[in-house]
Copies of this chain bind each other. A is one copy, B any other.
Amino acid sequence: MKFCSNCAQPVALRQPEGDHLPRYVCDTCGTVHYQNPKLVVGCVPEYEGRILLCKRAIEPRLGYWTIPAGFMENGETTQDGARRESFEEALAEVEIGSLLAVVHVLHADQVHVMFRARLLEPRFGPSPESLEVQLYAEADVPWHDIAFRSVDFALRRYFEDRRGGVENHHFSAIDLRAPRA
């Protein structure tokens, strides 16, 4: 952020009075531009025991496999967003189920919220965001080619819980920031 989105003057990074963190502040119009973590919402769609994965058609991690997921939009719930992403990325109609995982991706300022889901019909396919979409049995999941650590975490918990006959939710944090000097 270099300029104020309200008045177009340059912003400064400094701690406002009474605050505890530096913020982008406009000294011309007084606006404080807060920056907060973004929510990424997704799901693990299951159909007759197999789960739906998408091979990414876009960066980052083009060519690697992931679950349908993406940035949550204003005006929707986390479940709405997970369902929307399933359709956008995999042309899949899903029914969202229980909460599976909340992963704090600290180096990216993101919170990934992932649900269990049921694929309603065995209909799905590639989209502008996915090169391939495929149902995988647990034994065939391409673990070495999973796009993101948060998705690896969620998938492992998914199968563990399924083997145990439970639907728990799991918190985790991933931090790839450089250590402070």
Question: Which residues from chain A sit less than 8 Å from chain B, CB to CB?
Answer: 1-11, 18, 20-21, 33-39, 71-79, 88, 99, 102, 104, 106, 109, 111, 128, 169, 171, 173, 177
Contact = CB atoms under 8 A, between A and B. Distances in A.
Tell me the dominant secondary structure on chain A's binding face: loop
Question: Could you say how many copies of this chain the assembly holds?
Answer: 2
B33 A36 contact: no
A158 B146 CA distance: 38
A33 B33 CA distance: 13
Contacts of A36: 38-39, 71-74
Given A18-B128, A72-B36, A77 B106 contact: yes
Contact of A4 (B3, B11, B102): B3
Contacts of A10: 8
A169 B6 CA distance: 39
Contact of A73 (B9, B21, B39, B71): B21
A37 B35 CA distance: 12
A5 B21 CA distance: 20
Contacts of A171: 77-79, 99
Given A8-B8, A39-B111, 7 more contacts: A3-B3, A3-B8, A5-B5, A77-B104, A78-B171, A79-B171, A99-B169
